[in-house]
Structures are given as structure tokens and as C-alpha cells.
Structure 1
Amino acid sequence: MSLDRTTVAKRYARALFELLSEKDQLEDGYTELQQLRRVFQDNPQLGTVLSDASLQAADREKLVGQLTSQASPYIKNLIQMVYDYGRMDVMVAIIDQFQALYDEKHHTIYAHVTTAVDLSAEQKDQIATAYAQRVGAQKVILDSQVDPTILGGVIVQSAGMILDGSLKTKINKLRRQLLA
């Protein structure tokens, strides 16, 4: 029975996370994995090419050699092991799972903010700080978008939770109360 991609990614990520934590290499490993993720994102077919037989084995090994040439020993071992098991197409998922473990350890969350107008850097910082206090995080990384249909206020979405402080929602709520 073969394991699904998520299960495989979680197992590799957890093992690497625990190893790097134990060896006091977590920060360096995290930085290196972010660089490796960029390589795979810049070359979307790389994982597939390294996982199937469409490319000669010698050529695949040459590409893997380029990935491992500048890697630290632990990341090099990860790349080689994932390659040996024919799972290079799961590498970005492994890094994503590692990122989730890293963020959890550092109490970092990601939030999507929708406003009616562009926010200044100071306003984003204020929202991030307030949201961090509300959810007990040390750091909030905001991604923002403008949606003039909300009229005003802020909508914050994170980890399946939505805090809707938009004027549009408040007006609709008031309308329902008046019509009831």
C-alpha cells in the first residue's frame, strides 16, 4: 500500500524538523529549505522530471547533484533520500509541512486581510499586532487585498477563522434586525 503525498510529506518533514532541532541547526535548515523551495517553484516540472523515467538516470543524478552540491549535510541527506525513493515530486510538500512545524514552534500565523482601501505599512503592523494578541501568536504575517465592495472596515481570515469587521456586514446585520 502506498502512502498519500500528505502523509509522506509529513513524515519526512517531522523527521527532518526533529533532527535539525536536536542538532541545533533549525534556523540554518529552515533558510536552506526556503531556498530549495524557490528552486522547485521556479522550475515547476523539476520534481516530476526527477521522479519519473522520462529523463535518463545519469541526467537525473546530475540534476540531483546540482541540488546537493551546496546543501548542508542534513538537507543533502534529505534530497538524496527523497530522490532514492522516487519522491522528488513531493519535495515542495515536504518543505511546506516543515514550514508548518517551524511556524508552530515560533508561534507564527498567516492571515489574509481585506480592506476597502490600500493599507499603509503602519496600518498593517497595527492589524498584525492586534490580531496576534487576539489569537495568542508571537508573529502574524499579513497578506492583504483591496475590495471596495466591503465599504470600510477590515476582514481578517486565518486558519479557518474569519473576523468580519466590514461596514457591509454591519449594514446587512442592521438591515436584518430592522426587518425582523
Structure 2
Amino acid sequence: MSLNRTTVAKRYARALFELLSEKDQLETGYTELQELRRVFQDNPQLGTVLSDASLQATDRQKLVSQLAESASPYIQNLIQMVYDYGRMDTMVAIIDQFQVLYDELHHTVYAKVTTAVDLSADQKDKIAAAYAQRVGAQKVILDSQVDPTIIGGVVVQSAGMILDGSLKTKINKLRRQLLS
């Protein structure tokens, strides 16, 4: 029975997360995984190349060794094990799942903020602080975008929740009330 990509990624991530936590290596492991993710994102075909037989096994092993050479022993083991099981194309998914566990531990939330105009750094900080307090997070990382059609106000989206304080929505609500 073949496991799907998400299940595989969750299992590897959970095992690595627990190991690094136990060995008090979580922060350094997290940093290394972020660097490894960048390598795979900068070279989108790398996972596929390392997972299929289009490249000689010795050449694939050389690439894997280069990936692992500056990593800590635990990350080296992860890289080698994922390679040995032919799952290098799931490496970014594994790191993404590790990120989810890390963020849960550190109470970090990601949110998309939409406004009619660009926000200053101070405004972003205030929105992040208010949203963190509202959802019980220690840290909120904002992805800010501008949409002039909302007229004014702020729309915050995170983890399936939408807080819509836009003027466009308020005007539409008022319109519906007047028409009923």
C-alpha cells in the first residue's frame, strides 16, 4: 500500500520534530531546514531528479552528499533516509509539515491582510498585535496586499477565518438593510 505525499510528509516531520525536541536541537534544526527548503525552492526540479532514475545513481548520491555535507547529523540522516526511500520529491512537503509543528509550538499564526492603501510598518505591527491578541498567538506574520476595491478598512484572513472590516462590506450590509 502506497502512502500519499501528505501522510509521508507528516510522518517524517513529526519524527524529526520529536527527535530534535528531545535532543534540544529544535532551533538549529529549524534553521537548517529553512535553508534546505530554499535550495529546493531555488531548484524546483531537484526533488524529482533525485527521486527518479533519469540520473545515474552515483550522480544522485553525489548531489545528496552535497546537500547533506554542511548539515547537522540529524538533518543529514533525514536527507539520506528520504533519499534511500526514493522520496526526495517530498522534501519540501516534509519541511512544510515541520514548519506547522514548529509554528504550533511557538504560537505563530500567518495572516493575509488586505487594505485599500499600503500600510506603514507601524500600522502592520498594530494589526499584527491586535490579531495576535484576538486569536491567542504570540506572533503573527502578515502578508500584506492592496485592493482598492475594498474602499477602506482592513480584511484579515487566517486559517479559514476572515475578519472583514472593510468599508465595502459595511456599505453592502447597509444597502441590504435599507432594501429589506
TM range (shorter): over 0.9
Alignment correspondent of 2:72: 72
> Cα deviation per residue 1:112-164 (whole Å; 9 max; x = unaligned)?
00000000000000000000000000000000100000000000000000000
SS of the counterpart of 2:109?
strand
Q: Which amino acid aligns with 1:83?
A: Y
Matched residues in 1 for 2:163 and 2:6: separation?
Answer: 29
Alignment-mate amino acid for residue 160 of structure 2: G
Partner of 2:120: 120
How far off its partner does 1:24 sit?
0.2
Matched, 1:30 2:22: no
SS at match of 1:145: strand
SS at match of 1:112: strand
Matches within 5 A, 1:3-152: 3-152=3-152
Q: Distance in 2 between the 1:111 and 1:53 partners?
A: 40
Structure 2: distance between partners of 1:143 and 1:58: 42
CA distance in 2, matches of 1:62, 1:18: 29
**CA offsets per residue over residues 63-104 of structure 1, 9 Å max, x none?**
001001001000000000000000000000000000000000
Aligned residues: 180
Q: After TM superposition, where is structure 1 displaced by more than 3 Å over at least 4 residues in a row?
A: none
Backbone CA RMSD of aligned residues: 0.2
Q: Look up the SS of the partner of 1:2 in the other structure.
A: coil
Structure 1, gaps ≥5 residues long? none
Q: Which amino acid aligns with 1:99?
A: Q
AA of the residue aligned to 1:164? D
Paired residue secondary structure (2:60): helix
**Identity of aligned pairs, percent?**
88
1:44 positional shift: 0.1
| CA deviation after TM superposition for structure 1 residue 58, in Å | 0.6
Which amino acid counterpart does residue 177 of structure 2 have in structure 1? Answer: Q
How far apart, CA to CA, are the structure 2 residues paired with 1:176 and 1:93?
44
What CA deviation, in whole Å up to 9, does each residue of 1:30-65 have, x standing for no partner? 000000000000000000000000000010000001
Q: Show the counterpart of 1:158.
A: 158
Give, as a single letter, the amino acid of the residue that structure 2 aligns with 1:131: Y
